[in-house]
Structure 1
Amino acid sequence: MVLLRDGMCPGLDEGLVRGLRAADIKTVEDLVSSDMEELAQRCSVSYKALFAIRRVLLAQHAAFPVSGADLYEELLSSTAILSTGNPSLDKLLDSGLYTGEITELSGGPGSGKSQVCFGVAVHISHQLKQNVIYVDTTGGLTAGRLLQMLQAETSNAEEQMEALQRIRVFRLFDVFSLLDCLYGLCGGGLQRASVGGGSVKAVIVDSVSAVIAPLLGGKQNEGMSLMSQVAGVLKTMAKDFNVAALVTNHVTRSGGGGGGGAPALGAAWSHIPRTRVLLEKGGDVRRPGLRSATLIKSSRRPLLIKEEFDLKWWSRSKEEGGGAAAAASGKRKRDETDS
């Protein structure tokens, strides 16, 4: 909404602005949508002069029409797909994390949300040679864990250090600090965080619910407002800076006690992520790292499809797994080429 003001275009002087405001025409939108003949009479101004002002304002402020084909071409040229490093998750996500979008991992305690985030950060920084912003709101991220995963990727200490430098960590434990951080990233922090020739391609927030959920419920309207602000800045960052935003969310258990659950933060938040994945522990006690991932929201794939994966995938050395490791290495090379 653009307010009318003196000097916006030829003919729109202070006197005419006062006359328009007296006629309850205060914005460009008000003027261009008005009946020009009636408005000219009410403001005692020439119809021809008012019509000329309207035409100039339309040219200055109206959006230019864009065809669907142009929008599709823009999407293809601007969107990148970042592999998670795990073939099963990539299959579930239709090849990986999409830049310009928010992807959510939800699950209960021990479901592997943070471990997946660690693995994704390591894969993007080491294999794709891109920078990652990691916002830790639970205190669960340690440099030692990242280094352990990198040591499984490469034995070269220099490569390990370079990859660690491409992961910039922010430890924040309240929603106000989170907002300050996200606004700062949008205000130039993403560019400053780019090191080693790569750009920031992923922003991970683990967990978004940890700082928002305590403010929701009851009569605390402030919590909903703060959640909306977090959602807005995340969506703006993903779209305007062409990054993939990955967030984690807790689940709320159903009253039946059957072990099922739904992502926390309610219906208002459910519209924010473009893709949502529910992580759950596997049932095989012989494979404690086994997890199931169920697609519960997507615009690209059928819902409720499920994939199983092992959390140890990101921590195993390249020598383990024989042909599977070779296949994963080949996929990583394709990912580097695609990026």
Structure 2
Amino acid sequence: MGALKSLEEVYHIIDANFLQFCASRGIFSVEDFLVHDVSMLMASADKLSNSDRLKQGINQLVLITETYHQPWMNGLMLLEDREQNKHYISTGSESFDVLLQGGLREGHVTELVGPSSSGKTQVCFQVASNVALKKGNVVFFDSGNSFSPTRIKQMVTHISGSEENKVNGGVEEAMRHIECHAVFDIYTLLDLLHQLKLNLKSQSQKKSTELIIIDSISSLIAPILGGSNAQGHALMVSLGYLLKDLSHQHNIAVLVTNHMVSGEGGSLKPALGESWRNIPHVQLQLSQHHTTTNIYGVYILRHPYMASGKSVNFMIP
């Protein structure tokens, strides 16, 4: 997305006064605008003498972000992306990895959907533990106070299978490779992701982050959707494209969780609607075994290289 100043010639409402208003609040681009709360900007504009015109400018930016789309990729670009030397990250479960032909693919956004207690957070912990134990860096965004260092320790110990003194050292080392952020709104998440993007660009070619986890993304997006909040849809799409860009440009596996809502006839379907459905490359549905507490099922809803409908059971210790 471009600088706000570049819009001045196209939209008369985005004039020098509006640009000054935005600049005083650290907004210099459409991207900057997306990480600000529109209601707070409106309240700030209300206090000024030219409030009506400023609010028209804010509404204009909302419309611009709503209509923003990433450029189409042609067939050659898609083929090159498919054939790039991108690796797979193990989920920590052999049957799960076999189903996905190797695990979570770097450069892909993978979504885990499922009702409460279907294992979404536990899978996130297991993948994070597996990556961290191999000295890969994980950025974990926790939106529901669900991150548990104790549970991570249990999983690292189980995966390691080492002697106790080695396990304890492995736990400490693994925990150093997991960076956890508590996030309770989409604006904080976007801000942290933009910071991460800048950090990745400024670092050397040595890979610094292998896995990004957002548990759960639906709890951050759902509150801003619906009603007359036109910015909500734009924020959701912008977040999706940012995650895809981070994963593709830096060969990072992105794992997000999403809850389920009632669809037609009372059947369950992934939350966040059709616009979000097209964001993740891979969409997997989880379920818990009816009689065994640590046995879960995973079902492929959508995958770019595999037919949907395949499923396996797997265990989380």
Distance 1:134 1:190, change over 3 A: farther
Tell me, which stretches of 5 or more residues in structure 2 are unaligned? 3-73
Mapped partners of 1:271, 1:86: distance in 2: 27
Q: Which residue of 2 aligns with 1:222?
A: 231
Mapped partners of 1:304, 1:149: distance in 2: 29
State whether residues 93 and 315 of structure 2, in contact with CA within 8 Å, keep that contact through their aligned partners in structure 1: no
Opposite residue 171 of structure 2, the aligned amino acid is Q
2:121 paired with 1:110: no
Measured after TM superposition, the shift of residue 75 of structure 1 is 4.8
TM-score when scaled to structure 1? 0.66
State whether residues 113 and 283 of structure 2, in contact with CA within 8 Å, keep that contact through their aligned partners in structure 1: yes
The one of 205, 209, 214 equivalent to 2:218 is: 209
State whether residues 85 and 120 of structure 1, in contact with CA within 8 Å, keep that contact through their aligned partners in structure 2: yes
SS at match of 1:170: strand
Tell me, which stretches of 5 or more residues in structure 1 are unaligned? 3-65, 313-339
Residues 115-162 of structure 1, C-alpha deviation per residue, up to 9 Å, x if partnerless? 000000000111x32111111111100211111211222432222111
Mapped partners of 2:201, 2:143: distance in 1: 19
Mapped partners of 1:74, 1:256: distance in 2: 39
Mapped partners of 2:157, 2:258: distance in 1: 29
Bigger radius of gyration among the two? 1
Which 10-residue stretch deviates more, 214-223 or 236-245? 214-223
Mapped partners of 1:185, 1:161: distance in 2: 24
In the TM superposition, 1:314-325 aligns within 5 A as none
Opposite residue 172 of structure 1, the aligned amino acid is V
Number of aligned residue pairs: give it: 241
In the TM superposition, 1:46-57 aligns within 5 A as none
Measured after TM superposition, the shift of residue 76 of structure 1 is 3.8
Opposite residue 161 of structure 1, the aligned amino acid is E
Cα RMSD for the two superposed structures:
2.6
Q: What is the percentage of aligned positions where both structures have the same residue?
A: 32
2:106 paired with 1:95: no
Q: Which residue of 2 aligns with 1:293?
A: 298
Mapped partners of 1:303, 1:245: distance in 2: 20
State whether residues 191 and 200 of structure 1, in contact with CA within 8 Å, keep that contact through their aligned partners in structure 2: no
State whether residues 200 and 208 of structure 2, in contact with CA within 8 Å, keep that contact through their aligned partners in structure 1: no
In the TM superposition, 1:76-95 aligns within 5 A as 76-95=83-102
Measured after TM superposition, the shift of residue 191 of structure 1 is 6.8
State whether residues 294 and 315 of structure 2, in contact with CA within 8 Å, keep that contact through their aligned partners in structure 1: yes
SS at match of 1:204: strand
In the TM superposition, 1:1-339 aligns within 5 A as 68=76, 75-126=82-133, 128-152=134-158, 153=160, 154=162, 155=164, 156=166, 157-188=168-199, 199-254=208-263, 256-257=265-266, 260-283=267-290, 285=291, 287-312=292-317
